[in-house]
Structure 1
Amino acid sequence: MKTFFIFLTFLILFAGCSKKNAFYEFKMDKDQERSASSLQSSKIVSKEGEVSGVFSAIYLNEVYPETFNQDESFFIFFFTKEKKELYDPSKPTDTDLKIKLNSKLPIKAEELSQENRFSHLVDIKNDWNRYYIVTFEKADTINLVFEDANASSGVLKYKNEILLKTSKKRPKH
């Protein structure tokens, strides 16, 4: 009888824990879910084939379509071994790192602090990353590249959902 009560006690304890799993406390709001599907990253590789950094981007038009719908906007963060400035259209230099959308430079680039209005979208926060919001003119295709004179990233490709929705509504001839 004593063994039965010990067995019953353990059975009740384990049964009470069985409804929880690894995702029990893992909750994301809609913005975080959209940013997780929009987040893309690429290594920055030098011409000699060495990895010189990491570049990541979130397409803000997908995450906040009601706010970011006039131009193409990205929350980007990157790390490079050599600390250089990102190209700023208001004060460009030849040594700048450049982010290009379809081979075109941005119309605006704003550096952000580590804790910023978009930092809740990603869990990657550290002292060596640099954070920016970068804006480009509206485009049909979205191919984003990070580069400088000595290195470049892979192409990050995004679908322009707004253009896809409007093109589906057009009658075919």
Structure 2
Amino acid sequence: MKTFLIFLVLGTIFFGCAQQNAFDQFQLKPEQELGEDGLQSSKLKNREELVDGVATVVYLNKALPKKYNDAEYFYVYLYKKNKKNKISFFLNGKTTAKIEKLPVKNRFTQLTSFEAPWSSYYLVKFNKIEGDKLNFRVKEGSFSSDVFKYEKDQ
């Protein structure tokens, strides 16, 4: 009887929490959940493993599919120590079709709940990529990010 009671209590606790996830603890809009869920960050490093900044990326086609579906769109914000070098973005080895520098408060701030005056913000557009695997990379002089891997919804 004692063993049955222990299993009953543990089962109730386990199954009572199974319907929740981390987002249940916060008041997030659906697009915020998708933005936070698709958020990836990487340090900008060179070959000597020196760090010059941090890049954070959201794949907008997945976060806002009704609005961003004619090309591949990314929201990027980054912090760089050295602001002299030109920043470049690559998707599956291809260069951008358009880069729009955004103000600190912009139309994507609600996706990430992040806005800092020391960071730079960009809307990056690439021509449509065939296939479902996307490899996004940020380069700045001799520094580059790790590859941000995304999968498209086909």
Identity of aligned pairs, percent? 35
Higher relative contact order (CA 8 A, sep 6+): 2
Which protein is bigger by CA-based radius of gyration? 1
More off after superposition, 107-116 vs 121-130: 121-130
Question: What is the CA–CA distance in structure 1 between the aligned matches of 2:140 and 2:26, rounded to whole Å?
Answer: 39
| Mapping of residues 1-173 of structure 1, within 5 Å | 26-84=26-84, 95-139=85-129, 140=131, 141-161=133-153, 163=154
Q: Which residue type is aligned with residue 32 of structure 2?
A: Q
Question: What is the CA–CA distance in structure 1 between the aligned matches of 2:98 and 2:24, rounded to whole Å?
Answer: 41
- What is the CA RMSD across the aligned residues, in angstroms? 1.6
Residues 126-152 of structure 1: per-residue CA shift (max 9 Å, x gap)? 111100100001112210001133111
Matched pairs, number: 130
Q: Which residue type is aligned with residue 34 of structure 1?
A: L
Question: What is the CA–CA distance in structure 2 between the aligned matches of 1:52 and 1:124, rounded to whole Å?
Answer: 20
Question: What is the CA–CA distance in structure 1 between the aligned matches of 2:121 and 2:39, rounded to whole Å?
Answer: 14
Report the secondary structure of 2:48's partner residue: coil
Question: What is the CA–CA distance in structure 2 between the aligned matches of 1:35 and 1:44, rounded to whole Å?
Answer: 22
Pairwise CA distance, 1:41: 0.6
Q: Which residue type is aligned with residue 80 of structure 1?
A: K
Residues 80-107 of structure 1: per-residue CA shift (max 9 Å, x gap)? 11114xxxxxxxxxx5211100111100
Normalized per residue, which structure has more strand?
2
Pairwise CA distance, 1:123: 2.0
TM-score by length of 2: 0.80
Q: Which residue type is aligned with residue 46 of structure 1?
A: N
Question: What is the CA–CA distance in structure 1 between the aligned matches of 2:24 and 2:121, rounded to whole Å?
Answer: 31
Pairwise CA distance, 1:47: 2.2
